[in-house]
Amino acid sequence: MKSPREVSVDIKLIDIVDSMNLSRNVMKGLKLLLANEELQAAQDYANKVSIVRLGFNDHGPVHMRTVALNSVIMLDLLKKAGIKTSLEADECGNFEDSVLAVIISGMFHDLGMGMGRQDHELHSMILALPYIDNLLNEVYGDDLHKKTMLRALSLEGIRGHMGTISVSSIEAGIVQVADGCDMTKGRARIAMYTNSKTGHIHQYSANSIEEVNIIAGKEKPIRIDVNMSSEVGLFQVEEVLMTKIAGSTATSYIELYAKVRDEAEKRYL
């Protein structure tokens, strides 16, 4: 059974993909992922390990869906600004392929948390591969070019989401930033309650993030606004999000602002 928060993000994902007037392949792939009960179970277990056993914040179905959603929003903003994805620039795929790739990366990038925190991005790739192959067979049939290309691109997004490994595609760089953008207090609330005596800095800092908005920038295609209730949230901005943006292939397309309640906003990028 999906939680109300999961259903809410599902609806947002379907709505934005529908609004982009993409091919039926993207929507078909998205709906297959959202309806996959085995994937749901794997995401739930990864979250249980993350929160209960390890004391981290949410790394489960809501987070993975949110990263997919953030990725699609940013790709849409790049397209509206006339920026090509790597698949388009390399002339080996189209924008719609790029959208499906970042959705896949987002939906699988933290499955490896079910095996522990260390090297979880690499473990996520291993756990995700059978799902990805089945999905691409459903969506692209006998088109070997599309399937092999999107398998590699989707795995690159998973592999690079921590920002500790260099990526080469815009798509993977977007997933990396999208992951860093999911840092609001809702993501930390369960861990704060279940591990109240041993709170982690990620929990406390995320608990002060009121809102993260991804919108069109004035000088660059993407603007990220982070609104906080206290300055402890700056840990998330400076140590997590900034690190991921700095190592991303999409850095030059992003404006980043942070604001603590009624104080003046601070521009980082």
Per-residue pLDDT of 61-73, as tens digits, reads: 999 999 999 999 9
Return the bridge partners of 266, or none: 258
Q: Which residues lie below 8 Å from residue 76, measured CB to CB, with a gap of 6+? A: 16, 20
Which of 105-114, 203-212, 230-239 shows the lowest per-residue confidence on average (mean pLDDT)? 203-212
Distance of CA 142 to CAs 136, 139, 147, Å? 10, 9, 8
Amino acid 103 reads: I
**Average pLDDT value for the chain:** 92
Question: What are the structure tokens assigned to 55, written together?
Answer: 């004391």
When pLDDT is cut at 50, 70 and 90, the band that residue 186 belongs to is low
Domain ranges for the chain:
4-267
Percent of the chain residues topping a pLDDT of 70: 93
The structure tokens 């509206």 sit at: 80
When pLDDT is cut at 50, 70 and 90, the band that residue 200 belongs to is low
Average pLDDT (49-74) is 93
Average pLDDT (130-145) is 97
> What pLDDT is recorded for position 189?
47
Average pLDDT (194-203) is 52
- Is a pLDDT exceeding 60 seen at residue 193? no
Q: Which CATH number fits domain 4-267: 3.60.70, 1.10.15, 1.10.1300, 1.10.10?
A: 1.10.1300
Average pLDDT (37-57) is 93
Average pLDDT (193-200) is 48
Contact present, 229 and 210 (Cβ < 8 Å)? yes
Which of 8-17, 31-40, 231-240 shows the lowest per-residue confidence on average (mean pLDDT)? 231-240
> What pLDDT is recorded for position 182?
94
Length of the chain equals: 269
> What pLDDT is recorded for position 196?
47
CB atoms within 10 A of CB 2: 15
Average pLDDT (121-134) is 98
- Is a pLDDT exceeding 60 seen at residue 116? yes
Mind listing the pLDDT tens digit for each residue in 21-37? Answer: 999 999 999 999 999 99
Average pLDDT (171-183) is 96
When pLDDT is cut at 50, 70 and 90, the band that residue 203 belongs to is low
> What pLDDT is recorded for position 197?
44
Amino acid 49 reads: V
Which helix or strand (DSSP H or E) is residue 60 part of? Answer: none
Q: Which residues lie below 8 Å from residue 83, measured CB to CB, with a gap of 6+? A: 170, 221, 253
> What pLDDT is recorded for position 262?
86
Average pLDDT (129-155) is 97
Distance of CA 67 to CAs 44, 157, 223, 243, Å? 16, 11, 16, 17
Average pLDDT (233-239) is 88
